[in-house]
Amino acid sequence: MFRRVLNLSLILSWLVFAMNCRESVAAAGFMNETDRQALLAFKDLIQEDPLAVLSSWNDSLHFCEWKGVTCGRQHQRVTALDLASQTLVGSVSPQIGRLTFLGEIRLDNNSFHGTIPPEIGQLFRLHTVSLYNNSFQDLGLTLPNLKYLYLGGNKFSGSFPPSMANASGLLFLSMSRNDFTGPIPKNLGNLRDLTYLELNGNRFVSNKPNDLSFIGSLTNCTNLRRLILSENHFGGVLPGSIANLSSKLETLNLGSNKISGSIPQEIGNLNNLSLLVIQDNMMSGSIPESIGKLSKLEELAIMINNISGKIPPSIGNITGLSVVGAAKNMLEGIIPAELVGNLKNLEALSISGNKLTGEIPSALGSGQVLENLDLHGNFFEGAIPSSLDQLKGIQQLDLSQNNLSGQIPEFLGKLPLMRLNLSHNMFEGEVPKVGVFNNISAFSVVGKNMKLCGGIQPLHLPACPIKFSKKNKRPFLDKMIPLLIILPIVLLLACLFLIFYQLKKSQQRTSHVSLLENQYPKITYAELLHATNEFSPINLIGEGRYGSVYKGSLNSGEHIVVVKVLKLQEHGANMSFMAECDVLRILRHRNLIKIITACSSLDFKGKDFKALVFKFMPNGSLDNWLHPTQAEEQGSNLTLVQRLSIAIDVASALDYIHHHCEMTICHCDLKPSNVLLDDDLCAHVGYGMGEEVSTEADMYSYGIMLLEMFTGKRPTDIMFIDNFSLHNYVKFALPDRVMEILDSTIVLEEVEGLNRNKGGEGEFAKLKSCLESILRLGVICSTELPHERMDSRNVVEELHRITKAYNE
pLDDT at 307 (0 to 100): 96
Residue 730 has pLDDT above 70, yes or no: yes
Q: Dump pLDDT digits (tens) for 424-444.
A: 999 999 999 999 998 888 899
User: Based on the domain organization, do 462 and 483 belong to the same domain?
Assistant: no
- 6 within domain boundaries: yes
Domain of 611: which CATH number?
3.30.200.20
Q: Is 279 domain-assigned? A: no
614/409: higher pLDDT? 409
Average pLDDT of 500-506?
53
Helix, coil or strand: residue 727: helix
Residue 295 lies in a domain: no
Helix (H) or strand (E) holding 541: strand 540-543
Q: What is the mean pLDDT of residues 733-740?
A: 81
CA-closest candidate to residue 451, choices 421, 423, 427, 425: 427
What does the pLDDT average to over 683-711? 80
Q: Is 231 helix (H, G, I), strand (E, B) or coil?
A: coil
Work out the number of other CB atoms within 10 angstroms of the CB of residue 363.
Answer: 19
**pLDDT greater than 60 at residue 176:** yes
Q: Classify 403 as helix, strand or coil.
A: strand
Q: What is the pLDDT of residue 708?
A: 92
**Same-domain check for residues 521 and 604:** yes
Are residues 567 and 655 part of one domain?
Answer: no
What pLDDT does residue 569 have?
67
* Pairing assessment for the beta strands 683-685 and 675-677 based on DSSP bridges: antiparallel
Known catalytic residue at 655: no
The runs of H, that is alpha helices, within 542-627 are 573-584, 622-626
- Structure confidence at residue 141 as a pLDDT band (50, 70, 90): low
Torsion of CA 751, 755, 756, 762, to 10 degrees: 90
User: Average of pLDDT values for 478-489?
Assistant: 67
- Higher pLDDT pick, 569 / 103: 103
Domain boundary among 591, 615, 639: 615
Q: Mark which of 587, 615, 643 sits at the end of a domain.
A: 615
Give the CA distances from residue 463 to residues 451, 466, 752, in Å, rounded to whole numbers and listed in that order.
11, 9, 68
Do the strands 608-615 and 595-602 form a parallel or antiparallel pair, or are they unpaired?
antiparallel
Residue pair 343/320 in contact by the 8 Å Cβ criterion: no
- CA 346 to the chain's CA centroid: 22
Q: What is the pLDDT at residue 723?
A: 66
Cα 584 from chain centre = 32
* Residue 172 placed within a domain: no
> What's the pLDDT band for 265 if we cut at 50, 70, 90?
very high
Is the predicted pLDDT of residue 469 greater than 60, yes or no?
no
Distance between CA atoms of 274 and 300, rounded to whole angstroms?
Answer: 9
Are residue 483 and residue 370 in the same domain, yes or no?
no
User: 56 with 9: CB under 8 angstroms?
Assistant: no
In which element (H, E) is residue 621 found? none
Domain check: are 45 and 149 in the same one?
yes
Residue 392 labelled as part of a binding site: no
Question: Are 787 and 667 contained in the same domain?
Answer: yes
> Running DSSP on this structure, what letter comes out for residue 260?
B
* 287 in any annotated domain: no
Q: Which domain holds residue 590?
A: 511-615
Q: Determine, yes or no, domain membership for 710.
A: yes
Nearest-angstrom CA–CA distance, 795 and 649: 11
Residue 324 falls inside a structural domain: no
| DSSP labels, 4-15 | HHHHHHHHHHHH
Task: Tell me what pLDDT residue 692 has.
Answer: 45
Q: What is the pLDDT of residue 6?
A: 47
Asked, for residue 9, whether it belongs to a domain, the answer is: yes
Question: CA-to-CA distance for 236 and 217, rounded, in angstroms?
Answer: 17
CATH of the domain at 668: 1.10.510.10
Residues in the chain: 808
Give one DSSP letter per residue of 760-777, joined into a string.
-HHHHHHHHHHHHHHHHH
111-120, 458-467, 575-584, range with the lowest pLDDT: 575-584
At residue 555, what is the residue type? N
Instruction: Based on the fold, state whether residues 795 and 680 are members of the same structural domain.
Output: yes
Residue in 673, 682, 680 with CA at minimum distance from that of residue 647:
682
Mean pLDDT, rounded, of the chain:
83
CATH of residue 148's domain is 3.80.10.10
Q: Could you read off the pLDDT of 73-121 as tens digits, one per residue? A: 888 899 999 998 888 999 999 999 999 999 999 998 899 999 888 888 8
Residues 666 and 746 in one domain: yes
Decide if pLDDT at 549 tops 70: yes
Q: What is the pLDDT of residue 482?
A: 67
pLDDT at 580 over 80: no
Whether residues 585 and 659 share a domain: the answer is no
Question: Cβ-count burial of 430 within 10 angstroms (0-12 exposed, 13-18 middle, 19+ buried)?
Answer: middle
Helix or strand holding residue 699 (H, E): helix 695-711
Predicted confidence at residue 506, as pLDDT, reads: 45
Cβ(189)–Cβ(217) below 8 Å: yes
Same domain assignment for residues 676 and 583: no
> Could you give the angle at which helices 744-756 and 761-781 cross, rounded to 10 degrees?
160
Does 631 score more than 60 pLDDT?
Answer: no
Q: Based on the fold, state whether residues 144 and 37 are members of the same structural domain.
A: yes
708 or 14, which is more confident? 708
**Total tally of structural domains belonging to the chain:** 5
The region of weakest confidence among 350-359, 445-454, 497-506, 746-755 is 497-506
Which residue, of 599, 615, 631, is where some domain finishes? 615
Decide if 300 contacts 319 (C-beta within 8 A).
no
CB 367 within 8 A of CB 343: yes
pLDDT recorded at residue 63? 94
Catalytic-labelled residue, pool 82, 623, 669, 743: 669
Whether 551 and 536 have beta carbons less than 8 Å apart is answered as no
- What strands lie across the sheet with 540-543, from one edge to the other? 540-543, 547-554, 559-566, 608-615, 595-602
Task: Note whether 390 and 482 are same-domain residues.
Answer: no
Q: Is the pLDDT of residue 755 over 70?
A: no
DSSP per-residue string spanning 485-501: HHHHHHHHHHHHHHHHH
pLDDT tens-digit readout, 13-66: 555 544 554 444 444 454 589 999 999 999 999 999 988 899 999 989 999 999
Say how far apart CA 703 and CA 691 lie, in whole Å.
19
For the chain, the 3-state helix, strand and coil shares in percent, each to the nearest 5, are 40, 20, 45
What does the pLDDT read at residue 21?
A: 44
